[in-house]
Structure 1
């Protein structure tokens, strides 16, 4: 029987922000196809997640790491090298989504969002690229957003950070292609994550209003973490060997209905 996603077995994958939400789903899918996974996250919940995977016989480890801090990343990469040998795939998933328009976004909030969502990706790529260049192969997958091309009034810093991620993805895809390193970006749609559900509850939005919004998605439902994870494992597999520098929306057609 052929592998559904060839080229993933026994590969080492780093997933930033892999302790919960989309990140945890990405970890689960890579583990399912035989990859060894390093969860890089400030959330200590990642340790319990990794321990559970190890009990089930899988090679998964958690490394406490703030992606906005170069020293944290350096220590984490060194530990991953010692534990797994090298890095085959990097999934830059860590990110935050605080609200704020031009006037309500102060300097501290701007620096926080840009620091994690954009600077963090740059620092991770900078740290991992030499390992991939040395082996003349590697895959980098960035998790972007439909907000990257415009965004809403109250997603200023977030939209800018994800817009910068598009440029970073395309720039690195070109720069690293000579080393057989592929760089792509996934734009999730409206994901039914823990954070999104909590936000709707905080806003006091009724279930009818939420269902009405969901019905406006062309394919009829919100996305989930597995939808994004399936795309990540595809892009990391040999099936995507000729795909680089691309932005792939996994949004149930949302961007067709309402371009951002």
Structure 2
């Protein structure tokens, strides 16, 4: 059997029932980790857990509404109750509504900040609580090229991803002495369920989206979920034990400045 790079680790994933989060839940299981999946789609989570068990590992699903700080805390509490420790946290959950600065309303702003930043803040608080009990751990915050100013119709989203960079640097600087690491993974333009649904609502098919994105991106195509696997596994594994406070880009050459 190939080396399992996360063997015996316990990894929590927010947004683990969709997109890259779902993919990584199963990959972490394949790599030997026990996986705590936070999200709302129980059916998808159960399917992921069945797949994880085929690799000889295990997982649990924790119904999680990231608008609720108590749910954010409960995600980690349940993971600790089930497996006795927390080694890693992959913060994938996020929303990307249209939100130009000149027209963005308060509800849209609040929704974005509550899910993309506030939830991550309190999830990190809880991750640190349990990681320090186990001698350290790794936090991976999902970022975006939009954090470097962003496109005009994603103002709230850009701000939420920018403040996550500050949170990453804060954790990296202040908790390194406890062997708690934090890094920022800049994801590229990816045809996830949410992205495709958004573009469909705007009258653009997935094929049209892929063609438009391919013409824009320097490397000629959108990123697929599988493009992130090796980078995320590296950041969660002991191989990156001296890596903290870093911005790690997998973006097909995209950089919005």
User: What's the TM-score, normalizing by structure 2?
Assistant: 0.91
- The residue aligned with 1:192 is 191
- Structure 1 residues 86 and 26, CA gap change in structure 2 (3 angstroms): same
Is the 1:29–1:230 Cα contact (8 Å) retained in structure 2?
A: no
* Cα separation, 2, equivalents of 1:51 and 1:189: 27
Which stretch shows the higher mean deviation, 57-66 or 167-176? Answer: 57-66
Aligned positions of 1:85-164 closer than 5 A: 85-164=84-163
Shift of 1:236: 1.0
Could you say which residue in structure 2 is the equivalent of 1:63? 62
Q: 1:33 to 1:203 in 2, by over 3 A?
A: same
Shift of 1:96: 0.6
- For the 8 Å contact 1:92–1:141, the answer to whether it is kept is yes
Q: 1:199 to 1:108 in 2, by over 3 A?
A: closer
Which consecutive unaligned segments of at least 5 residues does structure 1 have? none
- The answer to whether the Cα contact below 8 Å between 2:210 and 2:222 also exists between their aligned partners in 1 is no
TM-score (normalizing by structure 1): 0.90
Write out the 4+ residue segments of structure 1 that deviate beyond 4 Å after TM superposition: 206-210
For residues 117 and 93 of structure 2, the distance between their equivalents in structure 1, rounded to whole angstroms, comes to 10
Task: State yes or no: 1:74 paired with 2:76.
Answer: no
Q: CA deviation at 1:109?
A: 1.4
**How far did residue 110 of structure 1 move?**
0.9
SS in 2 for 1:254: coil
Q: 2:202, 2:2 → 1: CA distance? A: 47
CA distance in 1, matches of 2:151, 2:217: 18
Partners of 1:50 and 1:62 within 8 A in 2: no
Tell me if structure 1 keeps the 8 A contact 2:73–2:122.
no
- 1:235 aligned residue: 235
Aligned positions, number: 255
Cα 1:252–1:115 change in 2 (3 A) is same
Match of 1:33 among 27, 31, 34: 31
Q: Give, in angstroms, the shift of residue 212 of structure 1.
A: 4.5
1:153-232 counterparts in 2 under 5 A? Answer: 153-205=152-204, 207=207, 210-232=210-232
Structure 2 CA distance, aligned partners of 1:102 and 1:95?
19
Question: Aligned equivalents of 1:128 and 1:238: distance in 2?
Answer: 17
* Aligned residues of 2:113 and 2:160 also touching (Cα < 8 A): yes
- Mapped to 2, the partners of 1:23 and 1:111 lie a distance apart of 23
* Corresponding position of 2:41: 43
Question: What's the Cα RMSD here?
Answer: 2.0
Unaligned runs of 5+ in 2: none
State the 1:29 CA deviation: 1.6
Alpha-carbon distance between aligned partners in 2 of 1:135 and 1:229, rounded to the nearest angstrom: 25
Q: Say whether the 8 Å CA contact 2:199–2:209 is kept in structure 1.
A: no
The answer on whether the counterparts of 1:50 and 1:61 sit within 8 Å (CA) in structure 2 is: no
Cα separation, 2, equivalents of 1:73 and 1:144? 19
